[in-house]
Amino acid sequence: MNCKAFRARFEVHPHARANLGVDSTEAGQHLADCAECKDFVETQREVVAGLTLLRESEPGLDSSFDAGVIARYRQQNLSRTSPQSFCLPPRSFTIFCVSGAAAVLAVIAVLLVYGIHKPLSTVIRPQPMPAAASAKPVPEARSATVSRKVALSRANVLRKAMTGKSSKTLQPPSNPSAATALGEDDPTPAAFRGLMYCDPLSCGGPMEMIRVRLPFFPDAFPLGLTSTNGVVYADVVVGSDGVARGIRILK
Amino acid sequence: MANLDPLANRSDAELLELAVAGEESAFRLLYEKLKVSIFRYVFFMTGSRSTAEEVTQEVFLSLIRDGGRYERNRGEVASFALGIARNLVRRIERRERPYIPISANDEFEQGALRAFSAHGECGPLPGELIRDELIAKLHAALASLPRHYRQVVVLCDLCELTYADAATQLNCAVGTVRSRLNRAHALLAQKLKPLKGPQPDIRTAGPEGCAI
């Protein structure tokens, strides 16, 4: 056995160090022959003895220290279960309330916005006529969104209006800008011939424009109006009450 | 003591769970099981009894406070508690001096001076004083070791952990623990060599012979 192998045996366990030199015959023989390893073993034994003395000198924990630790444990327990922890609302509940309030506000905002920006896809907003409406042109509808509907079922309403005042109502205006105003404040849009007395009070509100197909009667329609297939087309403005307000013949 | 009996057969992990839940008797039992090893480790790592007591108390309170972090599959509760102690000791070491010089031992010097003045001339020193001096020197020698050597000496030699347990605690290989321990013992042997020199005959040498 060489010195390296002999000293490697001391790495097994620190408490077996002091005995390794004498437990093995081979190691014992090497020790007898090697002064350096002998000195090494002696040094290791002294280190172990010193550490043993050090360990024996460890002070113990007295009962007052133990009582202090138990007291701290009780204090920590109390602080964890104190009523203060119940004073604050749970975080989730607070988040829920805030979210609910935000949702309500959002719904109100949507309703307000919807109420302001109501779709005008089929609405014609009549403009009130000025006092001297007969001499002045009828202002055109300001609504930019006027869509045309072809509703053959509404032609029945028209025919009734036509039979009542056919000659008068179907007269195309010689001057479209000056016609159609039977009342001073007729809200009927320009280029339409009024079919009933209208003023902002009686005919207020949105109107709907529909396109209808009418049978052609040469005597009933304006001079110069012709038809190749026996029908003419007309746009009719109808109020929200379903009563036709005005008509214009399409050439 | 009767109320401890139902808990006597519980494992440390179960005791920890109960203690975290507020069961004082479980905490007492766990404390009695682990307090010596925790205190021993901190005392020998820091060399101070007061520090060891403070840290030991803090370890157990942290154990209850952070008991939810303990995982059974990662080791025993004792290892978990020792890990907390190691972290606290590391924080203390960062604040304080890393080494205590062998000569800077106020208690030893004061004791030697008292003995010298009490005897007038250099008479035989009380055995307790010599023993205390040796213990103080051993503490100083241990404290002067680099930290990674000191740890293996404290864990293996003083706390009597096996190489495997020490390796788990230090998160290193068993071979690393063995080699560090070898090196630590060699360093300690060098530091302790002056202590084993031939002692002068203090009855005949005169005052100057009493200097140790």
Cα dihedral A92→A95→A99→A101 (10° resolution) = 110
Q: How many other C-beta atoms are found inside a 10 Å radius of the C-beta of residue A220? A: 16
Alpha carbons within 13 angstroms on the beta-carbon side of residue A176 total 11
Cβ partners under 8 Å of residue B199, min gap 6: B212
For residue A152, the Cα-to-chain-centroid distance in whole angstroms is 42
Q: How far apart are CA B66 and CA B19, in angstroms?
A: 11
Report which residue type is found at A78: L
Cα–Cα nearest to B136, from B110, B166, B162: B110
**With a cut of 0.85, is the ipTM above it?**
no
Q: How far apart are CA A191 and CA A139, in angstroms?
A: 10
All residues of chain A having their beta carbon less than 8 Å from the beta carbon of residue B39 are 61
Q: Of the ranges A5-9, A146-150, A168-172, B169-173, which one carries the lowest mean pLDDT score?
A: A168-172
pLDDT in tens, A94-142: 676 777 777 778 888 888 776 655 554 444 454 554 444 444 444 444 4
Task: Report the b/e string of A154-182 with b at 16+ CB within 10 A.
Answer: bbebbeebbeeeeeebbbbbeeeeebbbb
B65–A58 CB contact, under 8 Å: no
pLDDT in tens, B99-124: 554 544 444 444 444 444 444 444 55
Q: How far apart are CA B185 and CA B161, in angstroms?
A: 16
| CB-neighbour burial class of residue A236 (10 A; exposed 0-12, middle 13-18, buried 19+) | buried
Alpha carbons within 13 angstroms on the beta-carbon side of residue B4 total 10
Q: How many other C-beta atoms are found inside a 10 Å radius of the C-beta of residue B189? A: 19
Q: Cα distance from B14 to chain A (closest Cα, Å)?
A: 17
pLDDT of residue A185: 54
Mean pLDDT of B76-84: 92
Mutation test of the interface with chain A: which of B182, B183, B193, B195, choosing the one with the most A Cβ atoms within 10 A?
B182
Give the residue from chain A lying closest to B135, CA to CA. Answer: A54
Confirm if B42 and B56 have CB atoms less than 8 A apart.
yes
Give the largest Cα separation in chain B, rounded: 68
